[in-house]
Amino acid sequence: MYEGVVQDLIDELGRLPNIGPKSAQRIAFHLLQADPVDVKRLAETLLKVKETVRFCEVCGNVAAAERCRICLDPRRDASVLCVVEESKDVVAIEKTREFRGRYHVLGGALSPIEGIGPDELRVRELMARLADGVVTELILATDPNMEGEATASFLARMVKPLTADGSLRVTRLASGLPVGGDLEYADEVTLGRAFAGRRKIDG
C-alpha cells in the first residue's frame, strides 16, 4: 500500500477494464514522473470527454449531440437495423462500407458472471424502436463468442412475435470461421471447427 493520494490513483486506474493491480501501479508511477503539462492535458481531455460526449438517444452510439451522425443522416436506410454490442463495433462495420442501414448499440452482451442480464442492456429501447414496423430487417451482429451468441439468441426470441406475419426478417452475421469464446485458438483448431461445422451449399 502506498500513501494517500498515490494509492487512490492506483485504485482508480485499477478500476479500468483490463488493468490489473500491477499495470495500475506502473501507469500511476509513469504519471507521477511525467511532465505536468502532459498530465494536465490528459486530465482535461478526460473531463471534456465526459462533459461533451454523450450517447445517441436513439441508437446508443457515442454522439456529439442528442442524436448521432448516423441517426441524423437521411440517406441511411431506416428499414435495416444492425444490433451491435459496443460503439466500437459500429466503427468497425462502418469501415467496411458494406452497410447502409442504422444501428442499435446494446451496451454489452449477456454475461451473468459480470452481472449483465437483459435489464442491463438496451433491449427495451430496441423493442420500442421496432414497434412502428419501419424496420423490416434486423441484423444481429453481436460478437461471435459465447456471450454474443447467447445475446443474439435472446434477442431472436424477444422479436419472434414480430416475425410471425413476415413483417420482420431476422438475420445473424455470417462469421466465416467460427471462433470459440475469448480464447485465441490455434489456427488448426479454428479450421478444424470450420470443417466439422461445414454446411451443404446449393448451387
Partner 1 sequence: MRLSHLSLVDFRSYAGLELELEPGVCVLVGPNGHGKTNVVEAVGYLATHGSHRVAQDQPLVRIGAQRAVIRAAVHHEDRSVLLELEINPGRANRARVNRNAVGKTRDALGYLRTVLFAPEDLALVKGDPAVRRQFLDELLVARTPRFAAVRADYERALKQRNALLRSAAQLRRANRGAAVDMTTLDLWDGHLASAGAHLLAARLELVESLNPLVGKAYGTIAGRDTALLDYKPSFELSTGGGSPVDESAVHDALIAALNAGRKDEIERGMTLVGPHRDELALLLDHGHGPVPAKAYASHGESWSFALSAKLAAFELLRAEAIEPVLILDDVFAELDNSRRGQLAQVAASAEQVLITAAVEEDVPASLSGMRYRIGKGTAERLR
And the C-alpha cell for 135? 424496420
Span interacting with partner 1, options 42-50, 132-140, 148-156, 163-171, rule CB under 8 A? 148-156
User: 6-11 long-range contacts, Cβ below 8 Å, gap at least 24?
Assistant: 6/32
Does 71 bind Zn ion (CB under 5 A)? Our answer is yes
What's the closest the beta carbon of residue 147 comes to partner 1, in angstroms? 7
Q: Is 5 helix (H, G, I), strand (E, B) or coil?
A: helix
Q: Which is nearer to Zn ion, 40 or 100 (CB)?
A: 100
Residues in region 49-108 near partner 1 by CB under 8 A: none
For residue 120, what is the DSSP state?
G
CA–CA separation, 13 and 150 (whole Å):
31
Q: Please give the angle made by the CA atoms of 183, 185 and 190, to the nearest 5 degrees.
A: 125
Q: Which partner in Zn ion, partner 1, none is near 153 (CB below 5 to 8 A by kind)? A: partner 1
Q: Is 155 helix (H, G, I), strand (E, B) or coil?
A: helix
What's the closest the beta carbon of residue 128 comes to Zn ion, in angstroms? 14
What's the closest the beta carbon of residue 49 comes to Zn ion, in angstroms? 18
Rounded CA Rg of the chain: 21
Q: What are phi and psi of 116, to 5 degrees?
A: -100, 110
Span interacting with partner 1, options 23-31, 67-75, 125-133, 180-188, rule CB under 8 A? 180-188
Span interacting with Zn ion, options 21-29, 52-60, 133-141, 164-172, rule CB under 5 A? 52-60
Cell 467496411 belongs to 96
Q: Which partner in partner 1, Zn ion, none is near 196 (CB below 5 to 8 A by kind)? A: partner 1
Write out the residues near partner 1 by the rule CB under 8 A. Answer: 110-113, 115, 117-118, 146-147, 149-150, 153-154, 157, 180-186, 188-190, 192-193, 196
